[in-house]
């Protein structure tokens, strides 16, 4: 139970100017004596039947939420076919991302691959090369874990300064789902790793069935750790755009490695140095030298409400500042929130602690004085790592980077409650 | 890490008759030398672009999964408008239920209630009667928890013997979602409970804005414990059919109490004895006396695969038997599986232990000898309670009941892999 909820928390705002209806009640008037038209209308619902059980085989959100959708930004990539849908994190709460609005990216379009047509090959330095059908995969022991999947380019536009006025666009290349699948370790052991000899310097090369193939090299140590060959997300089959029927889940590591429509796993004695790990998904530093093998997504957090797409719609008084934090190194241990651009900090309340390498929701239950704020959040993870400022990050990485921008984000909240993406020095 | 995965688990079935493709590989033939037409086809996907990023604002499952949907059974209730959609649990894995196919039931149809129109009243024995807008609710501290919601009538048809040939229909009146909301305790404290005096014998009466109002009495002890006034499920807004914009979440207690389109909470000094807690949602025993206030959903489990809608599609050899277990009293501590109708039992592997009063996934990683099975699962919870057989339950409750059938379910699996709902004596 949260301490914040145990504490006496009688709040005055319902009796104040913010809520006229509550105000009239608080003044001691019976509701019937001063009827609010909306309360009268509320009674009306009770006098007629609603719609029957929805016969739509698969349900969709109510019409009032038609603005809470994944957003495509075609100009972000060379061709719209290789673009990105962003999760509407400004409008979500909790930690789970529904598949219907979960971040997606594909490099050569989404392919339609049926279960009967599906095959997964394991080859290379194994005792026995194998080809699995989808039905074969279901016969191996399965696991379930909630993991976040973040694109290495999430927040990438912001290296150049405050660019995009919405947390869906600055931080929405991320989703968090309960994945079900077979451990990659189980399948590698099925093929047998004796032929690979010493596993310390071995790799697996994974590729998808789409035209990009999106081949990536994964060190054997990670492949034998927590990688999943997954076929369900949030209980149901993967959606087409999430790699139906089978994708790789590489917990804590950049989303580009979570190969969709997974068709081949090759055990190799060196990294392939594919396009996706050389010309892309490397980080050019100030001196022109590129960092590579920057797989892990470092600790990061962002305030989702209030934010540019989720302004404050009430006056001064009690409010909840909320957001998301995550770390590819494990659990989030603490999130601090600043209202003054990083000069002073308050520690936020963390939501239920879920799986490692999963999103953590944080809340700061606070009072707004009606003044401007420079809102920031700062995450810490179980390794002791502290999310850096943009200045700190630029000092180490320069300003050439696209990927792995995990710096502290700032929202300028104005007195009218609107928020804007800004950069503080 | 699961022990089952650490153990050497080299399996022979891929090299046997079950997988022709794998068989040819296992026989030492190069894949290129004996090309499988499907593998050739697999290469074809790599030679053309797939579809671009899905421009549908909100995504839906791939066409191949169009049989994995919520099912309406109109004849179950007096009028189709008051019917039920069942979760397709035979086709799901993990624990989360997507909202799009999650169990729903409403007694007077689903109403469309917008956030601006929404009001929640707290009245009765409180220091200050209050009316909250939706925006008011968002200003209170929020919590997130995954909880199961099970209709008291789930498995109710089975009191009379094996009736329905599908786990979606025998056990699908249940869903499991991550709910976000304000603790009811917080709102009651906001109104002030001083006027109620000694809280021990006090109740809250909750009702919805729909024509049924679905009024239910909840003892104050539960109301101050873990009940949530919720507005999100699995991160996003509640769907219309799940009570948009606000429903009650009463963890571990029968779904009928999870009032949708919540409009009023009254603090009272006695239970209301409404229609929904007298003529319905009580259990008539053999002697004609009805049990009442049977709120808690006792420990229960069911095998979802194999099951009548999810037959075994392979020959003898390795297989995974999987299902769901839950208890309204807290955590599931153990699930046993029997292949011989309850004569002998094996302990299943539990999936990740999530929140209390939430679904737990279990797996038995086993070998099928190709013979008939009488499959059963038996759940145990943290109180030491053991899920009863149907005979044990009937002995105590008679055969007049509709609600609270948590008995052990039996599937008769035939040699061809098909499964049927049967009753064992």
| A95 and chain B in contact, CB less than 8 A | yes
Q: Give the tens place of pLDDT for each residue, A374-419.
A: 999 999 999 999 999 999 999 999 988 899 999 999 999 999 999 9
Confidence at residue A54, expressed as pLDDT on a 0 to 100 scale: 67
Distance between CA A104 and CA A102 in Å, rounded? 6
Cβ neighbour number for residue B77 with a 10 Å cutoff: 15
What mean pLDDT is reported for chain A? 89
The segment with the largest mean pLDDT, out of A17-21, A154-158, B70-74, is A154-158
Minimal Cβ distance to B55: which of A65, A72, A361: A72
The pLDDT assigned to A146 comes to 97
Provide the shortest C-alpha distance from residue A179 to chain B (in Å).
7
Domain A71-291 class, CATH top level: alpha beta
* Cβ(A411)–Cβ(A306) below 8 Å: yes
pLDDT score recorded for residue A219? 98
Q: Residue B116: exposed, middle, or buried by beta-carbon count in 10 A (0-12, 13-18, 19+)?
A: exposed
3-class SS letters over A282-308: CEECCCCCEECCCCECCCEEEEEECEC
Q: What is the mean pLDDT of residues A297-322?
A: 98
Closest residue, chain B, to A143 (C-alpha) = B351
- How far does the CA of residue B270 sit from the closest CA of chain A (Å)? 23
Q: Read off the pLDDT of each residue in A79-107 and give the average, rounded to a whole number.
A: 93
The per-residue pLDDT for A36 is 54
Measured between beta carbons, which residues in chain A are less than 8 angstroms from residue B133?
A: 19, 21-22
Q: Give the distance from residue B166's alpha carbon to the nearest chain A alpha carbon, in angstroms.
A: 17
Contact state of B119 with A36 under an 8 Å Cβ cutoff: yes
In the predicted model, what is the mean pLDDT of residues A207-230?
A: 97
Q: Give the per-residue pLDDT at A355.
A: 86
Interatomic CA distance for residues B349 and B340, integer angstroms = 19
Q: What tokens appear for A283 in the block? A: 């980080």
Residues of B in contact with A128 (CB under 8 A): 15, 25-26
In this complex, how many residue pairs, one in chain A and one in chain B, have their CB atoms less than 8 Å apart?
Answer: 424
Which residues in chain B touch residue A111, judged by CB atoms under 8 angstroms apart?
45, 50-51
Which pLDDT score, from 0 to 100, does residue A10 have? 37
Q: Which chain A residues are within 8 Å of B101, Cβ to Cβ? A: 58-59, 236
Q: What is the mean pLDDT of residues A99-114?
A: 94
> Looking at per-residue confidence, does A317 or A25 come out higher?
A317
Decide which of 3.40.30.10, 3.90.420.10, 3.80.10.10, 3.40.50.720 is the CATH code for B72-290. Answer: 3.90.420.10
- Residue A296, strand partner residues: A253
pLDDT value at residue B244:
97
- Residue B298, min C-alpha distance to chain A (Å): 23
B417, B313 Cβ separation under 8 angstroms: yes
List all residues 6 or more positions away from A151 whose beta carbon is below 8 Å from its beta carbon: A84, A103, A105, A173, A174, A254, A255, A256
Ranges of chain B with pLDDT below 50: 1-13, 15-34
Q: Is B65 on the interface with A (CB under 8 A)?
A: yes
ipTM of the complex, rounded to two decimals: 0.92
Answer whether B87 touches A (CB < 8 Å): no
Chain B contact set for A18 (CB, 8 A): 136
* Contact state of A2 with B115 under an 8 Å Cβ cutoff: no
Is A178 part of the contact surface with chain B (CB cutoff 8 Å)?
A: yes
Top-confidence residue, A46 or A89? A89
Mean pLDDT of the A180-203 span: 97
Distance of CA A112 to the CA centre of its chain: 25
Res A159 pLDDT > 80: yes
From chain B, the residues in CB contact with A5 under 8 A are 141, 143, 183, 185-186
- pLDDT for A32 beyond 50: no
Are the beta carbons of A183 and B5 separated by less than 8 Å? yes
Q: Is the pLDDT of residue A31 over 50?
A: no
Residues 15-44 of B with CB under 8 A from A: 15, 18-19, 21-22, 25-26, 31, 36, 38-39, 41-42
CA-to-CA separations, B241 to A52, A389, B221, in angstroms, rounded: 9, 44, 29
Contact B66 A57 (CB under 8 A): yes
Residue with tokens 């009702």: B207
**Distance, in angstroms, between B289 CA and closest chain A CA?**
33
- Return the sign of the alpha-carbon dihedral for residues A73, A325, B149, B266: negative
- Give chain B's count of helices (H) and strands (E): 8, 24
Structure tokens at B366: 């086993």
Q: Which of residues 227-256 of A touch B (CB under 8 A)?
A: 231-232, 234-237, 239-241, 244-245
* Residues in chain A closer than 8 A to B29 (CB atoms): none
Cα–Cα dist B127/A10, whole Å: 12
Q: Nearest by CB to B143, which of A2, A99, A113?
A: A2
155-174 in chain A: CB under 8 A from chain B: none
Bridge-based pairing of strands A119-124 and A262-268 is: parallel
Contact B51 A109 (CB under 8 A): yes
Please answer yes or no on whether A26 and B232 come within 8 Å at the CB atom: no
Give CA–CA dist B2/A393, Å, rounded.
38
Q: Do B53 and A101 touch (CB under 8 A)?
A: no
Span A144-166, average pLDDT: 94
- DSSP bridge partners of A86: A71
Note whether A119 contacts B21, CB cutoff 8 Å.
yes
Only one residue has tokens 């044990």, namely B392
Q: Do A14 and B144 touch (CB under 8 A)?
A: no
Residue A73: pLDDT band with limits 50, 70, 90: confident
Contacts of A121 in chain B (CB under 8 A): 31, 39
Contact A105 B72 (CB under 8 A): no
Please state, for a pLDDT cut of 70, what percent of chain A lies above it: 89
B422: Cα separation from own chain's centroid: 22
Asked whether A265 and A206 are in contact (CB, 8 A), the reply is yes
Please state the length of chain B: 425
For CATH 3.90.420.10, list the domain ranges present in chain A: 71-291
Query: Taking Cα atoms as reference points, which of A386, A374, A380 lies closest to residue A410?
Result: A374
3-class DSSP state of A241: helix
Distance CA A132, CA B304 (A): 23
The model's confidence at residue A20, banded by pLDDT at 50, 70 and 90, is very low
Range(s) for CATH 2.60.40.650 in chain A? 300-422
Q: What CATH class has A300-422?
A: mainly beta
- Looking at the complex, does the CB of residue B128 fall below 8 Å from at least one CB of chain A? yes
Q: What is the mean pLDDT of residues A81-89?
A: 90
Closest Cβ–Cβ partner in B59, B121, B239 for A62: B239
Distance (Å, rounded) from C-alpha A390 to C-alpha A319? Answer: 27
pLDDT of residue B78: 78
**pLDDT at residue A363 is higher than 90:** yes
Interface test with B, best of A100, A101, A232 (most B CBs within 10 A): A100
Query: Does B94 contact A213 at a Cβ distance shorter than 8 Å?
Result: no
A99/B98 CB distance under 8 A: yes
Nearest alpha-carbon partner for B3 in B367, B376, B355, B347:
B347
B106 to chain A, any CB pair closer than 8 A? The answer is: yes
* pLDDT confidence band for A312 (50 / 70 / 90): very high
Q: How far is A288 from chain B (nearest CA, A)?
A: 33
């Amino acid at each position: 139970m949260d301490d914040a909820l145990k504490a006496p928390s009688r709040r005055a705002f319902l009796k104040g100017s913010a809520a006229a209806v509550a105000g009239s009640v608080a003044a001691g008037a019976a509701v019937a004596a001063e009827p609010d038209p909306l309360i009268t209308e509320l009674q009306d619902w009770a006098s007629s039947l609603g719609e029957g059980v929805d016969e739509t085989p698969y349900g969709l959100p109510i019409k009032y939420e038609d603005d809470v959708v994944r957003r495509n930004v075609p100009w972000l990539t060379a061709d719209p076919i290789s673009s990105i849908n962003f999760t509407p994190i400004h409008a979500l709460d909790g930690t789970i991302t529904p598949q219907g609005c979960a971040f997606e990216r594909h490099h050569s379009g989404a392919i339609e691959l049926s279960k009967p047509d599906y095959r997964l090959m394991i080859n290379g330095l194994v005792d026995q090369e194998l080809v699995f059908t989808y039905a074969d995969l279901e016969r191996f022991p399965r696991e379930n874990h909630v993991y976040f999947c973040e694109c290495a380019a999430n927040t990438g536009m912001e290296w150049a300064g405050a660019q995009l006025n919405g947390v869906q666009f600055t931080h929405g290349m991320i989703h968090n789902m309960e994945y079900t699948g077979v451990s990659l370790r189980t399948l590698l052991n099925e093929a047998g790793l004796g032929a690979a000899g010493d596993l310390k310097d071995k790799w697996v090369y994974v590729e998808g069935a789409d035209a990009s193939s999106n081949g990536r090299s994964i060190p054997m140590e990670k492949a034998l750790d927590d990688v999943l060959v997954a076929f369900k997300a949030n209980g149901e089959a993967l959606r087409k755009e999430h790699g139906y029927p089978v994708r790789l889940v590489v917990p804590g590591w950049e989303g580009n490695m979570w190969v969709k429509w997974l068709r081949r796993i090759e055990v190799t004695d060196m990294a392939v140095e594919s396009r996706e790990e050389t010309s892309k998904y490397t980080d050019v530093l100030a001196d022109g030298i590129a960092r590579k093998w920057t797989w892990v997504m470092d600790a990061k957090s962002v305030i989702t409400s209030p934010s540019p797409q989720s302004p404050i719609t009430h006056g001064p008084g009690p409010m909840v500042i909320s957001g998301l934090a995550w770390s590819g190194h494990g659990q989030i241990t603490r999130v601090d929130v600043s209202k003054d651009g990083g000069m002073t900090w308050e520690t936020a309340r963390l939501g239920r602690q879920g799986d490692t390498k999963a999103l953590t929701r944080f809340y700061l239950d606070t009072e707004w004085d009606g003044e401007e704020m420079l809102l920031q959040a700062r995450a810490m993870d179980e390794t002791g790592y502290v999310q850096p400022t943009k200045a700190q990050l630029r000092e180490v990485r320069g300003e050439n980077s696209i990927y792995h921008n995990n710096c502290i984000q700032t929202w300028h909240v104005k007195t009218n409650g609107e928020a804007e993406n800004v950069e503080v020095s």
